[in-house]
Amino acid sequence: MNKVIQLQDLGLKDYKDTWDYQEELFKAIVDSKIKNRRENAGLQTKNYFLFVQHPHVYTLGKSGDLDNLLLNEKQLADKGATFYKINRGGDITYHGPGQIVGYPILDLENFFTDIHKYLRFLEEMVILTLAEYGLKAERSPGETGVWLDVGTPFARKICAMGVRASRWVTMHGFALNVNADLGYFDNIIPCGIRGKAVTSLHVELGKTKVDETEVKTKLLKHFKNLFEAELLVNEI
């Protein structure tokens, strides 16, 4: 089993270009697995972890409801935002500057074959990271992602998640609001959940700006420990 994960930080990158890149890496891993099965080729499958930030964009998961986007095409253009219907789970969400997006593209057969456990580990990574900033983050029953003040009228989501998996290979991932402009969430019903707010780390800490590099470092520390993985930094 290959527990080495190649880390790439893509910086600010267009959503569609990043999606295409994910698909390319995903397909290469799946193709290796098919070749191994058919030909007993003994190929070692690779794993990746992509960090990225996107220009303003709304994405709708395959089971999502388009009515949860509250803007028409002209209004999207006026806000400098784009929209894509994509092949992950979940409903609608927003990505934009100030949000740390992570896309683990893993062959789970290198780690464990349990999608539920995979999602819980991603949530735990974020929960442990936020604890280092003095925040008590937690899961909300039946609602994937990471929340604050669960079970109160003040429940608010700080990290959204949506993944795709095929042949135990994952893509898509999580979006943690760190310095995000929360006004963009007013244009959707986030994740299709009415009546619950969205927040960002800088708002919770009362800071103008949080060090995003520091947050990434903390996320990777917990990711590495949870998955018992070795991280290899790849320059691109």
C-alpha R_g of the chain: 18
**Burial class (CB within 10 angstroms; exposed 0-12, middle 13-18, buried 19+) of 168:** buried
Tell me which of 3.40.50.2300, 3.30.920.30, 3.30.930.10, 1.10.287.130 is the CATH number of domain 4-233: 3.30.930.10
Contacts of residue 2, Cβ cutoff 8 Å, sequence gap at least 6:
44, 45, 46, 47, 107, 110
Residue linked to tokens 């992509």: 50
Q: Are 47 and 6 in contact (CB under 8 A)?
A: yes
Domain layout of the chain by residue ranges: 4-233
Binding-site members for substrate are 88-95, 160-162, 173-175
Catalytic residue among 191, 210, 215, 219: 191
Binding-site members are 88-95, 160-162, 173-175
- Report residues of the chain scoring pLDDT below 70: 190-195, 235-236
pLDDT of the residue at 159: 97
Q: Where are the alpha helices (DSSP H) in the chain?
A: 15-39, 73-78, 115-131, 201-205, 212-227
pLDDT of the residue at 183: 93
Angstrom distance (rounded) from CA 129 to CA 137: 9
Q: Are 51 and 100 in contact (CB under 8 A)?
A: yes
Asked about 191 being catalytic, the answer comes back as yes
- In terms of phi and psi (left: phi > 0; alpha: psi -120 to 50; beta: otherwise), the region of 54 is beta
